[in-house]
Every structure is written in structure tokens, then in C-alpha cells.
Amino acid sequence: MSKENNLKGWLYLLPAILFLGFFMVYPLVDVFVYSFEEGYNSASQTFFGVGLYNYSYVLHDPYFLQALKNTFILVIITVPLSTIIALLISVGLNSITAVKKLYQTVYFLPYVTNTLAVGLVFMILFKKTAYTDGLANLILAWFGKGPIDFIDGPYWAKMFVLCFYTVWVVMPFKVLILTSALASVNQDYYNAAKVDGTSSFRIFRKITLPMISPMIFYLVITGFIGAFKAYSDAVALFGTNLNAAEMNTIVGYVYDMLYGDSGGYPSYASAAAIILFAVVFTITLINLSISKKNVHY
């Protein structure tokens, strides 16, 4: 290992190190610094003291509590729901041969479309205006219900649309992962079970589920992390002023604190971001410990 080789290695790495240093490592340290600086002023870049005031402010802010509540409801509803639906779809998809490829392509479409743009379509489908009740209410009317304004109406209606849209958006990734996991299960297990005359439900429970359990678990973890960071889906449906719509999420709160009508408070934003990170980290640890007991590798 010559000196020249050392230099060359570092030279090839230099651009990456510079970019990561400026835009990841330094900010990572800095966000903790910000979160402890009390009364930070972005214009003069001064602060009064050091302490936990920012955390206490955020934890007592009704907007943050609303965002926390919304995010938890969203997570608790969409993660299990989307995982179960994705499992059903993937098992179905794996059992057919005709149009399989076509359906796989169709199911993947939401992944490559702009969340903000398609969110507008959902908004229109669910919105009730003076001119029209919208499509969702037309369907409700067939069952003799409604009309409900899903976009500016009651809280649960708005939450329903947000959950519905979130499931629609996250489904492609889950279906893709589960179909490839199902396709890679060794056929010998199934053949052996068939010789023994095992019922198909039992095959699913005793062979399929254990074999793909690592992938299901992977989806649950990434699903939790993704759902906790929900933000642009809500903006697409309810507009940028999420606090007014009572539909803000934790990430939305962070950005609102940083910038926008209520912005200019990087310290509060940092404290909220670190609280979010702590929540996600804890949940992931819990997930990992549960998986140790239930996942078969």
C-alpha cells in the first residue's frame, strides 16, 4: 500500500465525503444543537440559553398534539390494513397465470406517479362543492347514505380519505415485495404437502406464511417508518395549511415550524424532528424484538 494509492483512494471518495459532510453529518450534529438552544432567532442567529424548553414547548403545543394524534391514527390503521390487503393480492396474483403480468404492471402504477398530482384527483373524487356532491357521495347515495364532505367536513371523514389514499399509495411497494417473496418459495414444500393431502388453508398457514415471514416483517417495519413520516399525501388532499384543516402530521409540523406562515422557529422544528425520530426508533426496536419470536429465517 503506497502513499500514492492512499491519496488516490481518498481522491475518488472526496466528492462523496464533501457532499455527505455538508448535507448529512454536519446537519445531524447541528439539529441536536438547535434543539437545545432556547429562544433562537433566525435573523440575528442568537439565542438566550441552553436547555429543554424547546421540547417542552413542542410537547405542550396543541398543534403538535393534534399532529401526533393524526399520525398515530394513520399508522395504526394503514400499516396493518395495507399489509393484509397486499398479502391477499399477492397470494391471488401468485395463483393465476393469465393476465398476471398485466395486473402486476397496473398495481405498480401508483409508485411512479406524483403523489401531489394524483392526490388532487382523490380530492376531487371525495370533495363536495356547491356544484356537485362528487363521486364518493354518488356511490354513498346508491346505498342511501350521505352526502358527506370528505375534504372540508367532519374529522373522521377527512381521516378516512387520508387513510384510503395512503393505502392506495403504499400498496405497489408491498405487493411487489410480497409477490417476489411468494415466487421464491421452494415448490418442493408445496409438492410434499400435496402428497400428504394437506388443505390449502393449512398449506398457507404452515408453509407459505412462515416462508415469507421475513419479508412481511420487513414490510411492517418500513411501513411503520414510512407512515410516521406521512406528509405530502395530506398536503395533496387538504392543501398546505394543514393546521387549519386539523390534518397536520408530525413531519408537517416540523416543516411548518421551519417555514411558511407560522415558520421561522428552527429550534422548535428540531425538537419536534428529534421527538419523531425517538418515536420511530422505539417502535422499530419493539418491532425487532417481536420479530425475533415470530419470524422464521
Partner 1 sequence: MSNDFDRIERASRARKTTVRTITYILLTFWAVMVLFPYYWMLLTSIKSYSAYNAEYVPTFFTLTPTLQNYVSAFSEVPLARYFLNSIVFTVITTALMMAVIVPAAFAFARLEFKGKNLVFSLFLALMMIPNELVIITNFQTITNWGLRNSFAGLILPSVTSVFYIYLLRENFAQIPDELYNAAKVDGTTDFKYLTRVMMPICKPTIITIVILKVIECWNSYVWPRLVTDDPAYFLVSNGIQEIRENGFGRENIPAMMAAVVVISVPLIVLFLIFRNKVMAGVSRGGIKG
Restricting to residues 223-252, which ones interact with partner 1 according to CB under 8 A?
223, 225-226, 229, 231-232, 235-236, 239-240, 251
Q: What DSSP element (H or E) covers 5?
A: helix 3-20
Interaction residues for partner 1, span 249-288 (CB under 8 A) = 251, 254-255, 258-259, 266, 269-270, 273-274, 276-277, 280
Cβ neighbour number for residue 76 with a 10 Å cutoff: 13
75 binds partner 1 (CB under 8 A): no
C-beta closer to partner 1: residue 118 or 207: 118
Q: Could you write out the three-class secondary structure of 141-182?
A: HHCCCCCCCCCCCCHHHHHHHHHHHHHHHHHHHHHHHHHHHH
Residue that the C-alpha cell 438566550 belongs to: 48
| d(C-alpha 163, C-alpha 171), whole Å | 12
Minimum separation from the CB atom of position 108 to partner 1 (A): 6
Of the candidates 96, 142, 187, 289, which one interacts with partner 1 according to CB under 8 A?
A: 96
Query: What is the chain's Cα-based Rg?
Result: 24
Helix (H/G/I), strand (E/B), else coil: 270: helix
Interaction residues for partner 1, span 41-70 (CB under 8 A) = 42
Report the relative pairing of strands 49-50 and 37-38 from DSSP bridges: antiparallel
C-beta closer to partner 1: residue 50 or 109: 109
Interaction residues for partner 1, span 6-25 (CB under 8 A) = 6-10, 12-13, 15-17, 19-20, 22-25
CA atoms within 13 Å, Cβ hemisphere of 70: 32
Minimum separation from the CB atom of position 153 to partner 1 (A): 17
Of the candidates 46, 51, 76, 132, which one interacts with partner 1 according to CB under 8 A?
A: 132
Minimum separation from the CB atom of position 103 to partner 1 (A): 6
Stretch of residues binding partner 1 (CB under 8 A), selected from 62-70, 81-89, 186-194, 203-211: 81-89
